[in-house]
Amino acid sequence: DSTSAPVCILILLNGWGAYILGLLGNYELSESAVSVLWGSIGYNFYAIITLLIVFYTISFDKVHGPLKKAEEQVEYQKTELQEEVKGTKARYMLVPLITLIGSMVGFMYWSGNGDIASGSGSKSVLYATILACVVAYLLMVSSRQFTHHKLVDIGFKGMGELLPLVAIVLLSLTLGASLKDLGTGTFVAGLVGDYLPIYLVVPVLFVTGAVISFTTGTSWGTFAILIPIGVPLIQALGLPPSLVIAAILGGGVFGDHCSPISDTSAVSAIASGCDLLTHVKTQMPYALFAGGLTFVAYLVTSIIVL
């Protein structure tokens, strides 16, 4: 779970990047939306700190808090695979994945007329995904283990599983556009400018995003709520765009990382054969520790930068 949402928000050659670019595209900033998004990677302290904690856990083989107690209660049983899974070659994953990443960069370069930063993120993601799917299809057909009809059936089942996510994205974009037209961000910017020290704006945005994402279980919905509020703050108070956006994205990832109603928490628990509530309880101290360090990091950075 610690290498799902945090990695997605740092490696933005995916649907996350296209979605955030779509939200940022509604506003005029001093930099292009792509530049702001790429610049936010270095400021996304929550995702970086979370991955450092993973590295620490792997390197020193130590766990703490409820996780340590849970591991002490686990009885490890050795099992042997009775059935060999045939046809699972690494190239079936690696070749489409390399195609996706490489073609996305290429399409960014192409759509930007030679300037990657000016390229269309949403179109590049769309074209690269289609190309990767075609490559995957050709690989599977050439293996002679899958027929055309079987692959079409698999494809439509996959699309069906993504329909709820598409609905969330559509409603999130609608919410973001509504908040913009209502002037919510401008109103909040006025309140913040009058009552909140400027160096606390970014840390507070992170905490707000963390609370929203934890209680709703969706990082994308959090982005849709806070980006239309954060961008007017950038414009009104002269805040660094990448720093503000990074705080919002980090706050959204916090809930995706540890909320009991988050889809990534549920999938991680199911995939590892762990009870969902046990997973949330054992992971929460790590998430709160990373969140506390992130708040301090944003506070220090804001004092230095602003």
Q: Give the domain ranges of the chain.
A: 35-71+170-305
CA distance 123 to 50: 31
Residue 205 pLDDT level (bands cut at 50, 70, 90): very high
Residue 126 pLDDT level (bands cut at 50, 70, 90): confident
- Identify which has the larger pLDDT, 212 or 186: 212
pLDDT of residue 132: 94
**pTM of the full predicted structure?**
0.72
Neighbour count for residue 258 (Cβ, 10 Å): 28
CA distance 183 to 28: 15
Residue 92 pLDDT level (bands cut at 50, 70, 90): confident
pLDDT of residue 57: 92
Give, in order, the Cα–Cα distances in Å from 260 to each of 179, 214, 227, 252, 290: 27, 8, 24, 14, 18
On the question of pLDDT at 187 being above 90, the answer is no
pLDDT of residue 40: 93
Mean pLDDT of 199-211: 91
pLDDT of residue 91: 86
On the question of pLDDT at 85 being above 60, the answer is no
- Identify which has the larger pLDDT, 297 or 68: 297
Given a contact cutoff of 8 angstroms between Cβ atoms, the answer to whether 47 and 9 are in contact is yes
Which tens digit of pLDDT belongs to each residue from 211-261? 888 887 778 878 888 888 888 888 888 899 999 999 999 999 998 888 887
On the question of pLDDT at 99 being above 80, the answer is yes
Mean pLDDT of 35-59: 93
Percent of the chain at pLDDT exceeding 70? 88
